[in-house]
Amino acid sequence: MRKFAYCMIALTLVGCSREFVESIYDVNYEPTNRFAKNLAQLPGQFEKDTAALDALINSFSGNIEKRWGSKEIKVAGKSNYVKYIDNYLSRAEVNFQEGKILVETVSPTDPEGHLRRAIVTTLLTPDDPMSVDLFSSQDIELKGQPFLYNQVLDQDKQPIQWGWRANRFADYLIANQLKVKQVDFKKAYYVEIPMVEDQIQIRSYQYANIVQKASRKYDIPEDLIYAIIKTESSFNPYAVSWANAYGLMQVVPKTAGRDVYKLVKNKSGQPTPEYLFNPENNIDTGTAYFHILKTRYLKDVNDPTSLEYSMISAYNGGTGGVLNTFSKDRKRAMSDLNSLQPNQVYWALTKKHPNSESRRYLEKVTKYKKEFNMPK
């Protein structure tokens, strides 16, 4: 089985230096555990790991910079898939939020041949994240159902499942849509491929049985699970983040993952990255954490709608963040929260929460939840 040790450190990498990371992501390294501090004495989920980051600067990022230049460094994130091949000469970026795919190469020899191979590889990449090393230029074994099946149509408006169709579409793109640009004093040959308009819905359908199973198991509404997945990853099972969060529901192993292991699974330790890259394991773990929020950390919230708002906010910014919105004193905070109507709780968590990301998070999730339109 592939070793995923690189994942434990690679997720903090988005550039050539730690300063670049912090300038792009406005990283907050203060502990913000996804549970009340007095209930679980664990380190914060955003611990600064400079040694791990520095160890990677001269490997992955260095290899990218060597080929593409310091201004063209791209790596996988929560809602985008990035994969390098050909010793970092070719790469693909799938932007799920914008519904666009960019495949490009800076190979000085036979650029069209390299680009053709990169296009085919992208179209036939399997839907199993366990089989793809996102943080190297290692080749991908093209087998099984393609990850992008039904999300991209060829020149005949047909989905791409087999090698012959992928190769034919690659030839068409190079013959009709090839573009050239300057990248770090060299030429980059590229094509842009649009995804179908309902690409997010198509991916969501793939996990319907898993979501239904988790919903029934942990008594969490299906539409809430779907909304969290859309917010966290745009249904990208390859999703990774600088906070060491993995997969569809962006589970952090050493905080939420460890809590689920201890309080739900009755086992020690924490889930591994490879465990969380499995969609079924990821959705089960993320939903189990919502169960913990509902039945343990926020069980004293009386109104069910206020409880749901609080759970959503706590999934992103911690139980402590929810309570601090109302008072620094835990008992006073819970009393104040329960004295409010649900719309007032929502207003407070989206306007007065101490963390701006958490304020936006609740707005996004509640908006997306309506899209799935499922009864509780």
HSE of 135, CA atoms in CB hemisphere, 13 A: 25
Report the distance separating Cα 281 and Cα 223, nearest Å: 18
Whole-structure pTM value? 0.80
Residue 348 lies in a domain: yes
Domain count along the chain: 2
Structure tokens at 122: 């992208």
pLDDT at 57: 39
- Residues 103 and 159 both lie in one domain: yes
- Residues 191 and 204 both lie in one domain: no
- Residues 246 and 184 both lie in one domain: no
Whether the per-residue pLDDT at 84 is higher than 60: the answer is: yes
- Whether the CB-CB separation of 214 and 225 falls below 8 Å is answered with yes
Whether the per-residue pLDDT at 42 is higher than 60: the answer is: no
- Residues 327 and 351 both lie in one domain: yes
- The neighbour count for residue 306, using CB atoms within 10 Å, is 22
- Residues 124 and 255 both lie in one domain: no
Report the distance separating Cα 8 and Cα 162, nearest Å: 34
Please report where in the chains the tokens 């069209």 appear, as a residue.
112
pLDDT at 135: 83
Ramachandran assignment for 318, one of left (phi > 0), alpha (psi -120 to 50 degrees), beta (any other): left
Report the distance separating Cα 41 and Cα 323, nearest Å: 17
Domain C-terminal end among 141, 163, 196 = 196
Q: Name the more confident of 8 and 266.
A: 266
pLDDT at 58: 53
Residue 145's identity, in one-letter code, is Q
- Residues 189 and 208 both lie in one domain: no
- Residues 227 and 187 both lie in one domain: no
What strands, in cross-sheet order, belong to the sheet with 179-183? 80-85, 90-95, 100-105, 186-194, 179-183
Residue 39 lies in a domain: no
Report the distance separating Cα 102 and Cα 183, nearest Å: 14
Structure tokens at 93: 């970026």
Reference 315, options 351, 366, 280, 269; nearest CA is 366
Q: What is the pLDDT of residues 323-360, one digit of tens each?
A: 999 999 999 999 999 999 999 999 999 999 999 999 99
Q: Which of 41-55, 152-166, 177-191, 240-254 has the lowest mean pLDDT?
A: 41-55
Domain C-terminal end among 196, 220, 245 = 196
Ramachandran assignment for 3, one of left (phi > 0), alpha (psi -120 to 50 degrees), beta (any other): beta
Model confidence at 160, in pLDDT bands (50, 70, 90)?
very high
Residue 304's identity, in one-letter code, is P
- Residues 216 and 358 both lie in one domain: yes
- Residues 268 and 345 both lie in one domain: yes
- Residues 219 and 329 both lie in one domain: yes
pLDDT at 88: 96
Known catalytic residues? 232
Residue 234 lies in a domain: yes
Residue 257 lies in a domain: yes
Residue 47 lies in a domain: no
- Whether the CB-CB separation of 18 and 61 falls below 8 Å is answered with no
- Residues 122 and 217 both lie in one domain: no
Residue 222 lies in a domain: yes
Domain C-terminal end among 152, 175, 196 = 196
Report the distance separating Cα 125 and Cα 120, nearest Å: 8
Coil, helix or strand for 82?
strand
Residue 65 lies in a domain: no
Model confidence at 23, in pLDDT bands (50, 70, 90)?
very low
What residues make up the domain containing 296?
200-372
Q: Return the bridge partners of 94, or none.
A: 81, 101
Q: Find all residues with CB under 8 Å of 178, minimum gap 6, and list them.
A: 112, 115, 189, 190, 191
- Residues 160 and 287 both lie in one domain: no
pLDDT at 136: 87
Mean pLDDT of the chain: 85
Residue 358 lies in a domain: yes
Question: In angstroms, how far is CA 243 from the centroid of its own chain?
Answer: 11
Q: What is the CATH number of the domain that holds 352?
A: 1.10.530.10
